[in-house]
């Protein structure tokens, strides 16, 4: 089976460089266009099911894909971004200055990874022969890749990371793919 991890579309906090975590920041106009481009690109691809984080930026991305592909959506809070505690809402530079070792009330990274991997294994067991899209967050995608032994720091908005799952073995087929955003600069320029 295949799991296609999709990072949500752009938010204003992405543009500003703010730590989002569990703060429910919606997509901005560029993010909605990115999600629509992703949905159009996925139209001919058979997606059996869509799973989404319960945070609005991921859920709106999932809904836009579902409207085009017809795949049903199941919301799973276990697909949320890592919880960054007191760092949420701060600029990343300010967060690093104030909390060089992470905010004291944050979710430990290893707990977040365990939460997400357990969730993905459950999804894989529910769809042993299918292709599932998971609308989630950049930190989630990076933590899954690290768990798989793949070091990849940049995960673009609405990028696709394709994973093959056989039993409990995960193998990356493609990372941070954005064929639907070939003319991203045109999207930004038209946004003013």
Judge whether 72 lies within some domain.
Answer: yes
- Give this prediction's pTM: 0.94
Judge whether 49 lies within some domain.
Answer: yes
Q: How confident is the model at residue 183 (pLDDT cuts 50, 70, 90)?
A: confident
Q: Residue 192 pLDDT > 50, yes or no? A: no
Please tell me the total count of domains within the chain: 1
For residues 63, 150, 93, 95, the Cα torsion angle rounded to the nearest 10 degrees is 80
Q: Residue 190 pLDDT > 50, yes or no? A: no
- List residues forming the annotated binding site: 7-14, 57
Q: Residue 174 pLDDT > 80, yes or no? A: yes
Domain containing 40 equals: 2-17+27-84+110-190
Judge whether 171 lies within some domain.
Answer: yes
Judge whether 58 lies within some domain.
Answer: yes
Q: What is the pLDDT of residues 79-103, one digit of tens each?
A: 999 999 999 999 999 999 999 999 9
Q: Looking at residue 44, which CATH number applies to its domain?
A: 3.40.50.1240
Q: What is the pLDDT of residues 21-64, one digit of tens each?
A: 999 999 999 999 999 999 999 999 999 999 999 999 999 999 99
The residues annotated as belonging to the active site are 8, 81
Q: Residue 124 pLDDT > 60, yes or no? A: yes
Judge whether 183 lies within some domain.
Answer: yes
- List residues forming the annotated binding site for substrate: 7-14, 57
For residues 3-29, one letter each, b for 16 or more C-beta atoms within 10 angstroms of the residue's C-beta and e for the rest, the string is: bbbbbbbbbebbeeebbbbbbebbbbe
Residue-averaged pLDDT of the chain: 95
């Amino acid at each position: 089976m295949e799991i296609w991890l999709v990072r949500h579309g752009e938010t204003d906090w992405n543009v500003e460089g703010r730590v989002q975590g569990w703060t429910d920041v919606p997509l901005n106009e560029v993010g909605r266009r990115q999600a629509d481009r992703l949905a159009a690109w996925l139209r001919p691809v058979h997606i059996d099911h869509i799973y989404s984080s319960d945070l609005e930026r991921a859920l709106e991305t999932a809904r836009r894909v579902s409207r085009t592909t017809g795949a049903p959506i199941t919301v799973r809070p276990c697909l949320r971004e890592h919880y960054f505690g007191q760092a949420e809402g701060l600029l990343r530079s300010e967060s690093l200055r104030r909390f060089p070792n992470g905010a004291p009330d944050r979710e430990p990274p290893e707990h977040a990874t365990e939460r997400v991997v357990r969730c993905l294994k459950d999804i894989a067991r529910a769809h042993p022969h299918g292709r599932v899209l998971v609308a989630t967050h950049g930190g989630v995608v990076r933590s899954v890749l690290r768990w798989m032994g793949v070091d990849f720091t940049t995960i673009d908005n609405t990028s696709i990371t394709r994973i093959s799952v056989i039993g409990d073995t995960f193998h990356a087929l493609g990372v941070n793919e954005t064929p639907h955003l070939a003319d991203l600069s045109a999207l930004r320029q038209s946004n003013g």
